[in-house]
Each structure stands twice: as C-alpha cells, then as structure tokens.
Amino acid sequence: MTPPPSPSAEPVPSVADVAAAFQRTLRGESTPSGGRIMERLLDLLHNNLVQWGEEDVARRDVADDAAVARAKRKIDELNAKRHELVEAIDELLDDAIEQTPSAAPTTESPAMAFDRLSVLAIRIHVTDQAANSGDHDRDYAARLPVLHRQLDLMQEALAALFDDVHAGRKRFVPYASLKLYGSERGA
C-alpha cells in the first residue's frame, strides 16, 4: 500500500465532483471553489469550450478565408494553452498523490483523461442544446444516450485509474508535450 500524501498536499477532487463541476459550469451555474486542481480543471474546460467555438468558426461554409485563418491561429493558441494546462494539472496531481515508483505505468496521464472528459462534457452540452433548438434536420436527441454512456464509462475508467494509483498498482508520468508551437519545424 502506498503512503498517504503529505499533509500539505492538496486533496484531489473525485472524478464525479469534477464531472459535476464541468456540467454546472457549462449550464452557467456557479461552481464552489475546490482548490487549485479544480481551478485548473475548470480553466481547461473553459479553454476547450473556446476552442470548440473557434473550430465551429473555421468549419462554417460561409466563413471567408481570412476568418478561417484567424480561427485556425486562435485554435493553435488555445491548443498550446491546453497543453500547458494539462501539464499544470498533472504536476498538481503528482504533488498531491504519493505514487509507487515500481508500479506499472499508465498509458495516459490523469490530466490527459480529464481533458478528454471535458471535451465530452462540452459535446454533451452542445448536443443537448441542439436537441432542444427545434432544428429537426438531425435527430440530436438520439445521440445523447450514447454520449451519456461514454461519459459514465470515462468517469468509471478515470476513477479506476486513481484507485489503481492510490493502491500502488499503477503510476502515471506527468504529461509533457514538448511541442514547439510556432517553430519553423513545428515539432
């Protein structure tokens, strides 16, 4: 069994609490303060929501080339910020959770999974809005049960990851993108 986190470490919010905070925020409801980890997770959600909107701008049939170029540049900025936030969240989680160095590594860091969870929460929110918009060209409502099942499975998998890390069965390596945004090589 792994030792508990240091007394000065910030408590890690549960996956269910994060998912609920994402949903409340997307509905425009206030979210109680939950420490630096929750603040960074909500920053990530906000960043992904803005990026979602810019991606919609870039895909519009009526957008001219200049509008698409502006949107693409903004998407690149937001994606760079997304990577920074994922790295910051993983650093906070790594500080808060005592890991077993000999445990098997995970293929994805918790912040990377929270990033996907935030995008899924946005997709559900946007799909729900479309389903209630009166746009009858597509059956958006039929997508919602599938998306909610995906959300449930993602939460279950992420909670299991934390259980495995706390039990010493798994460990995660904090994400480091090392992407060179704006460089000539684009590496």
Is pLDDT at 105 greater than 50 in this prediction?
Answer: yes
Digit-coded pLDDT (tens) for 19-41: 999 999 999 998 777 899 999 99
pLDDT score of 1: 42
pLDDT for res 2: 39
CB burial string 99-123: b at 16+ within 10 A, e below:
bbeebeebeebbbbbbbbbbbbbbe
Model pTM? 0.88
- Farthest-apart Cα atoms in the chain, separation: 59
Residues 1-7: contacts with CB under 8 Å, at least 24 apart: 1/167, 1/168, 2/98, 2/99, 2/100, 2/165, 2/166, 2/167, 2/168, 3/98, 4/98, 5/96, 5/97, 5/98, 6/98
Per-residue pLDDT of 44-88, as tens digits, reads 999 999 999 988 878 877 878 888 888 889 999 999 999 999 999
